[in-house]
Amino acid sequence: MSDFNPKIVAFVCNWCTYAGADLTGTSRMKYSPQVSIIRFPCTGRIDFMLLLKAFANGADGIIVSGCHPNDCHYSSGNFHARRRWIVFRGLLDFLGIDVRRVRFSWVSAAEGAKWAQLVNDTAEHVRQLGPFSGYHRLRGLGVG
C-alpha cells in the first residue's frame, strides 16, 4: 500500500481554521497535498450527512475543524458541531466506518503550524488504515 494516496476532505470554518490554513501558506510550511478544503461559515453549519456523502463518494478520510471552544465567531456554533460529532461517532460505528478516519479538531487563525501537523498526521493515519472500501456498501444503503 506504499503508493496509496488517500483522498481527504477537510470541512473547516471560515473564521478560524480556514484562516489558520491561510497562515500555513503565508508561512510557507509544507504539508501533504492529499487534503482539500471546503469552506463553511462555521462548524455549526456542517451537516454531518455531508461526511457520509463524502465517504460514499470515495473519500478515505475527513477532517472537521473550527474555532477553539469559546472562540467561535458566532459564539456557539463549534459547541453544536462538537455535540453533533459525539452523536455522529456512534452512527459511524453502526455503519461500519472506522471512527479513526475522521479527525475532529480545533485550529485557530494563529495556528498555521498546527494545521500542517493536523493534515500530515491525518494523511499518515489514513494511509495506514488503507483506502476506504466500504463506500459501495454505503451507496447501497442509499447514502450516496
Partner 1 sequence: MARIGVFICHCGENISATVDVKKVAAAASRIPGVAHSVEYKYMCSDPGQQMIKNAVREKNLTGVVVAACSPRMHEPTFRRACAEAGLNPFLCEMANIREHCSWVHEKSDATTNKAIDIVRTLVAKVKKNKALLPIKVPVTKTALVLGGGIAGIQASLDIANAGHKVILVEKQPSIGGHMSQLSETFPTLDCSQCILTPRMVEVAQHPNITLHSYSELESLDGFIGNFKARIRKKARSLDEKLCTGCGLCTQKCPTRKIASEFDAGLGLRPAIYVPFPQAVPNKPVIDREHCTYYLKGKCRLCEKICPTQAIRFDQEDEILEVEVGAVVLATGFDIKHGDFFPEYGYGKYKDVIDGLQFERLASASGPTLGEMRRPSDGRVPETVVFVACAGSRDPAKGIEYCSKICCMYTAKHAMLYKHKVHHGRPYVFYMDIRAGGKMYEEFVRRAQEVDGVQYIRGRVSRIYERGGKLVVKGADTLLGARPMEIEADLVVLATAGVANAGAEELAQKVHVSYDPYYFYSEAHPKLRPVETNTAGIFLAGACQAPKDIPESVAQASGAAAKVAGLFSQSELVREPLIAVVDRQAPPLYSTCVGCFLCQAACPYQAIEKEEIRGRDGRLIKTVAKVNPGLCQGCGTCVALCRSKSIDIQGFSHEQVYAEVLALLNRGESDV
Q: Which three cell numbers stand for residue 97?
A: 466506518
Nearest to 123 by CA among 7, 24, 2, 30: 7
Minimum distance, C-beta of residue 125 to partner 1, in the bound complex (Å): 19
Minimum distance, C-beta of residue 22 to partner 1, in the bound complex (Å): 4
Separation of alpha carbons 98 and 55, rounded Å: 11
Minimum distance, C-beta of residue 96 to partner 1, in the bound complex (Å): 20
The residue ranges that bind partner 1 (CB under 8 A) are: 5, 7, 9, 14, 18-19, 21-22, 24-26, 28-31, 33-34, 36-42, 44-48, 50, 53-54, 57-59, 70, 73-77, 80, 84, 116, 144
- Three-state SS for 9? strand
- Closer of 37 and 126 to partner 1 (Cβ): 37
Site of grid cell 460514499: 56
